[in-house]
Structure 1
Amino acid sequence: MAEIQAKQGRQAEYDIDPSYLNRWSPRSFLEKEVPEDVLMSVLEAAHWAPSANNSQPWRFVIARSQEDREKFHSFIKEGNRKWCEKAPVFVAILSDKKLGYHAFDTGSAWGYLALQASQKGLITHPMAGFYQDQAREALNVPDDFDIQVIVAIGYQGEKETLPAELQDREQPSGRRPLMELVFEGEYK
């Protein structure tokens, strides 16, 4: 059994590409714009995620201008607002409820987005802490779509720029041992 170690000290029990270990969800963002080609590369990767019957149930609503970012701020809960307001890009990831497995497939798109962003030197932080009804109205999301998550995207800043109560949390988290998550034959 090989142990692979990432830059931040995370370790895998089995041989995997280090990009999986190096990706994490920091909260400290630089106030630095993401170039168009870099952002579109991240979204391009997400759009190539696998989906049942190639249904591609995901949609992305992005915010890059100050006006659009403030629209997102209006429905993000305070606990997230205190760290995410410096993020130069927000993405609302939607899924088409009319399609089977829409949430599962859209989760794959999120994974592709996160890994491509990491490879491009960006950080991503997904947020479930937002007001669904307000987001739906502000973004004009049709009723047949779920808003799965809001993702902040940008360049990593120094943890000292975060509120004091978040600075200790600004590090990669570990994972449960693999064998706590894998069951053979039946759930035990």
Structure 2
Amino acid sequence: MRKPADSSAPLSEPIAQRWSPRALDETREVSWEQLRALLEAARWAASFGNTQPARFLAGRRGDATFRQILGTLTERNQAWAHRAGALLVAIAVTRNEKGEIPYAEYGLGLAAQNLVLQAVEDGLVAHQMAGFDADAVREAFAVPADAVPRVAIAVGHAGDPALLGVEKLVSREQAPRQRLPLGEIAYTGEWGMPAF
């Protein structure tokens, strides 16, 4: 299922095609090679002073890491994310040998976006989730105090929206993507004056 962005200017294909489905095909796998490519894309993201604060826990469906990550998700997210080919948790390291890392969460966000766009480029889909227990991640994986679990990410192959079962979820999955108009987010001259 494709849901391309309705944009006022041409976009690169991964950006235009990126969306966050919940209906995932549990009969298809995410290979270690595919997972490596996603994490390489994340590794090459920009970061403040090249501090590279992004870290990832990664598991493939069927392995212990996948099961542990799945167990930290909210019940609502577990209901669909168990079909993912891979589950990851994106973590911001906030300190290094020089002290506090400025903009660590921003760097993590850039790395996660690179990962998601690489997934699209590789024919996969990715869904980022705030619905997980960061403390449970810390405990399950011995995450140090200066590392902050920020988002869980399900990666896989898009599946039939009917897999979601609940009509409300199926409808939401099939609905067109929406964004604020460009004039409401890009200003010129003064705040609130649309640039376009």
- Count of equivalent residues: 182
| Residues in 2 aligned to 1:68 and 1:60: alpha-carbon distance in whole angstroms | 12
Q: Under a length normalisation based on structure 1, what TM-score does the superposition of the two structures give?
A: 0.91
Could you tell me which residue of structure 2 aligns to residue 82 of structure 1? 79
Corresponding residue SS for 1:90: strand
Query: Is 1:54–2:50 an aligned residue pair?
Result: yes
| Residues in 2 aligned to 1:72 and 1:55: alpha-carbon distance in whole angstroms | 26
For residues 17-166 of structure 1, the aligned pairs below 5 Å read 17-31=12-26, 32-64=28-60, 65-98=62-95, 99-164=101-166, 165-166=168-169
For residues 113-160 of structure 1, give each alpha carbon's deviation from its aligned partner in whole angstroms, at most 9, with x where no partner exists.
011000101110001001121121112111101111000011111111
% identical aligned pairs: 35
| Structure 1 residue 186: Cα displacement | 4.5
Q: Contact 2:46/2:110 (CA < 8 Å) preserved in 1? A: yes
The verdict on how the C-alpha distance between 1:143 and 1:185 changes in structure 2, with shifts beyond 3 A counting, is: farther
| Residues in 2 aligned to 1:168 and 1:136: alpha-carbon distance in whole angstroms | 35
Q: Under a length normalisation based on structure 2, what TM-score does the superposition of the two structures give?
A: 0.87
Corresponding residue SS for 2:137: helix
| Residues in 2 aligned to 1:74 and 1:37: alpha-carbon distance in whole angstroms | 25
Moved over 3 A (4+): 185-188
| Residues in 1 aligned to 2:190 and 2:5: alpha-carbon distance in whole angstroms | 29
| Structure 1 residue 67: Cα displacement | 2.4
- Structure 2: which amino acid aligns with 1:67? A
Could you tell me which residue of structure 2 aligns to residue 182 of structure 1? 186
The verdict on how the C-alpha distance between 1:152 and 1:9 changes in structure 2, with shifts beyond 3 A counting, is: closer
- Structure 2: which amino acid aligns with 1:88? G
For residues 38-80 of structure 1, give each alpha carbon's deviation from its aligned partner in whole angstroms, at most 9, with x where no partner exists.
1111111111000111110000110114322221122100111
What runs of 5+ residues in structure 2 fail to find an aligned partner? 96-100
Q: Contact 1:82/1:163 (CA < 8 Å) preserved in 2? A: no
Corresponding residue SS for 1:167: helix
Corresponding residue SS for 1:11: coil
- Structure 2: which amino acid aligns with 1:130? F
What runs of 5+ residues in structure 1 fail to find an aligned partner? 1-6
Superposition CA RMSD, Å: 1.5
The verdict on how the C-alpha distance between 1:9 and 1:34 changes in structure 2, with shifts beyond 3 A counting, is: closer
